Structure 1
Amino acid sequence: MVYLYYFFLLRFILVHRLKPCSASSCEPVYHIPISIVKCRFWNGSVSFRTTLITLIIFLCLVAFYSFIPRDNQVEDQNVAEKVGQFYGLNKRLIQKIQVIFPRSQYFDKEAQKDLIQQSYTLVRFSQNNWRLINPIVVDADKRKVDRLLSDLLEKRIKRRIEVTSLLEYGLDDPTVKISLFTQDGSTKTFLIGKKTVNYSIYAKEKLDSKIMLIESSIIRDYSKSPDDLRNLMSHNVSQSKDSRKRVFDFQRAETTQIDILSTDLEIVLRKQPDGNWQMTEPNKSIVAQPMVEDLLFFADALKGTEVQNLKGLPKAKIRVRFYTKEAEPTVLILHHTKDNNEVYAKTRDKETMFRIDDHLLKLIRQIR
């Protein structure tokens, strides 16, 4: 439509820039303007210079419309990759999912009536098992968690847009924040903003300079309650058959230092005055805060099955010391096979040995 407008504008300029034609075949301007244009143009009334200038102006206007960004947006055309593919996320390597609803009001107030705006956190504690650790601690249904991950990672990126401000897209104060933590300690956080046309919604990976359009169903996909995610079968079985016992007690919230000691390595983690954790040995560096928090959480909630026969225990050993304001630290001793298929735990001051799952050991290895 814009090109058509410019075409008629050019014709208007041509008609009204021409002088009256002396040819007898020409009708008055107000009767048949098209014949006037033809006559005057072909009779030479329009100079070549005038025509050339007008044509150049027209082409410049077309170029301006075609190539200058509109509404401060620069679009990536033909983006058809899925979210997981584009950001290099493999569902099998994700260890933790954190979903936060920071807003009390959703942009779409009508749709908000049916939404459950509750924040929650899921952690993988073995290859095929997930656990809900916030707002309650309970085993999660693996199939439901897999579907939850697919709902984000399998969504296609309809379009990527470079913008100057996040405000008008609802991404400065997003509706949902979805953080995915991987085995290598990296994190991808996706911000979900306002809905737009064609069942789309604005979204952005926190560190990406561009925003994207994905399916708006992402809001409903991640609006879950604990009952939507918990493993009801496992819960019912555990009520009657779970014979596991708590391995040890320590003050998780009061912990100020963690030492991880093995035959080949010593790691020291210290809590800083601002509440963040820092590695001081073997070298000083920043450590991923969620990783340390998970380590403390799973150590505090550690349960196992008591082992009667202590013969043939694996020789590989890791000591973990948890320091608080108390004079003596709480010491947890882990025995494990080389392939980590068998993991045992005991405390320094008790002889009782427990068979535990390998999740705590995996967290320790990630920190190493």
Structure 2
Amino acid sequence: MNFKTTLIILVVFVLLGGAYFFFGRPSPDTEQSKADQQKIREVYALSKDTIRQVRLSFKDESYQSLTFAKNTDDIWKLRKPFTADADPSKINEMLQDLLEKKVKQTIEAENLAQYGLQPPNIQIELWTEGETPAKVFLIGDRTVNYSVYTKERSESHIFLIESSALDDFTKSPSDLRDRNVFKFSSAEIRTLRLQIEGQSVIHCEKQVNSNPGGTADMDSWEMIQPVKTKADARAIEEIVSALGSLRVAVFEADGEYDPANYGLSQPRITATLQSTGKNPIQELQIGSDARTPGRIYVTRPDHRAVYTVNREIHTKLNRTVFDLRDKRVIDFQRTATHRFAIHQGDSKIICQKNVDGEWEITAPVTLKADEEAVDDLLFGVDALRAVAFVDDQPTSLQPYGLAAPSIEASFVVPSSEPTTLLVGKMKEDTVYVKAQNAAPVFLVKKSLLDLVGMGIAGLRSKQILDFDGDDATKVVLKHGDVNLTCQKQGTNWRLTQPVQEQTRTGAVPSILRQVNRLTVEAFLAVAPPITKTGFDVPEIQLAVTLKNRTEHLLQIGKRADQEHHYGRLQNAPDTVFLLKNETAESLKKTVDDLRATPDAN
């Protein structure tokens, strides 16, 4: 047989095979237009909400038969090949995909095997009520036009639907299981119990706000074991949130398994939650690290299953008693505080808000307070956190310097008793403290002393002068060989020393505004010797006389450091402050700076 004859026979064979594929099978009884195609739910009067059980069977033996059913609460559960929580969204999506598929064509057929329907690739049994399935759908082979042969078991004809049905229903148990390890609302949780290897059991309980008008933010937590004290609500809520959002990465084992294979015979951590929900007690056990980096084995004992999850859950649950204790030293309403007093040695500073809501120092002297410094003090004390818990029930405060505290700071909110912080001895870079109305002794960072020990120098307003510039009648400025005197005549200023002539418009008012707005960098708690400050021979002196004959005399002495000069007011010689160098230099005006017509020479 030559090559030409062989080729002719091959072409004929292909043509006959194609003819059989297209014409040898029975023709469609109907080939409906897309507009006339009905959906499966319409043809078979099915609704996703009425389906209560689904069973999937597969010709491919590598897939397990699956049975899902709704429980009495209408929650989907996996019943076979084992019992587990199902993902309701995935079950509903799968059913929705089936019921929404359109019947493209119907075909009368006797030999189901030639369409892959005997046995079918997939069998889908749907129960709505009763002991027998309401409908059973068989999914066969793919065909042209992205379709797949399908049949309802009780009918004689077959029909075509979208071929995606094969993918939609080719599922393993893991594909349809609920990957949420826990199911609860954070608001329902009432207790948290942590059992961590090598530590005492930590047991905390939520103290629910009893005020019906209150919010969940007002709920607090109390530690019951190993010590009875206030717990850190934020830290506990973070743990509860971490458990609530925990997701399964891989379903490792179901039913019977050896806990030792997963480090679960002696769990590293056991976390138990008690709630007011339908599952009052839910527990998680954490075992060894999984083979996959970044994952760890866990189990819910009541689920009889092992999962791997992100290892971060171990970090979030591996907490100490210190981590979960409330570290606030005193509890007061910072924004509502209207008065505070600081006792340090023989001194007592009292600050309170005036009728305009501004802070003032009222003792031992009356001064305007620095609003920013007061805010920093209140915020710092409110944010004060323990770095160590020293003694919850001390028998003596003497070892901590708290029997006779070095500082007592009391904060008063209207219609409430004062909240008082006691400050004791230092220990390296920390200091002992306690609340006056509570027993525990804490260690906090010694930076607290910078806040409560700043004294009047730190609390007073940094603006040193406050007068009306229009009331000024005379200005005398001395620095180096310069000695200037200006006097006001009517509304105009005139130089009277060392020359007598009109000043440039606005020159003297500019000096007055600069002095009146002058703010210092800092007040010194103790005035240095006059020989150090240079006030015996000031570098600059500026005197302003008002029409009521009050005189303000600013003296600027030597440089205090590379950035500052010493300064003081003559009527408060013991109150020394620091001025920026550029501020001092800007006050060194000359005759030419002030005169209306500068000297041509």
Higher helix proportion, which one? 1
The structure, 1 or 2, with the larger RCO (C-alpha pairs under 8 Å, 6+ apart) is 1
Higher strand proportion, which one? 2
TM-score with structure 1 length normalisation? 0.41
TM-score with structure 2 length normalisation? 0.26
